[in-house]
Amino acid sequence: MSDPLKTESRRAAWLRNYYLVRAAFSFAWVAASFTIARHSPALAAALLIVYPAWDALANLLDVRMTGGVKANATQLINIWISALVTLAVAGAFVFELQIVLAIFGVWAIVAGLLQLATAVRRRKDNGGQWVMMLSGAQSALAGGFFVAQQGGSAPVLQTIGGYAAVGAVYFLISGLIVLFRESRRGARGLASGKG
């Protein structure tokens, strides 16, 4: 029979790494969107396609590491939606760039609500979930803003870049909270002679 503390430790280590990797990816994506992609329509298009594709992949990895499909229904839905958004964004370039903002807007609303639901489900067993709840709610609000902005003159990549930057901060804070909780748990274990 496995030790529950070890299982909890493994889950915490996974979430810490997951949140920090997602933060690093998002910060790198934002940096590229505000620098080299500003002068390269092809790179801007690639970044806009990669963003939801990465979200689908990240959620898939998280589902596999945290109990599978049955335990993670909200993330399974998010995987499919992010994959469909990837295809929709790729197809939208045939029509008009501003349509991408509307697609991202609808996706941000749905994905934000799914992230909020996932964080609510995880809050008892994992640290940093209040930040993920805030992130999900903020994503849904930002999505409404994107839909409202669609058809205007807002720079699509930089508008989405601002949204991604806020998401990166949320992932970073969540990862640091899990890291801090792990350190405290380890220190308590050493103090009680269980380390």
Determine the Cα angle at 88 with ends 87 and 91, to 5°. 85
**Greater pLDDT, 126 or 164:** 164
Q: Any idea which of 90-94, 134-138, 165-169 has the lowest mean pLDDT?
A: 90-94
**Helix 156-191 crosses helix 4-34 at what angle (to 10 degrees)?**
150
**Greater pLDDT, 187 or 29:** 29
- pTM confidence score: 0.86
pLDDT category at 94 given cuts 50, 70, 90 is confident
Report how far residue 52's alpha carbon sits from residue 38's, in angstroms, rounded to the nearest whole number.
19
pLDDT category at 2 given cuts 50, 70, 90 is very low
**Greater pLDDT, 160 or 154:** 160
**Residue 5 pLDDT > 50, yes or no?**
no
pLDDT of residue 127: 62
**Greater pLDDT, 136 or 2:** 136
Say which DSSP state 66 is in. Answer: T
**Residue 61 pLDDT > 90, yes or no?**
yes
Residue with tokens 């790494």: 17
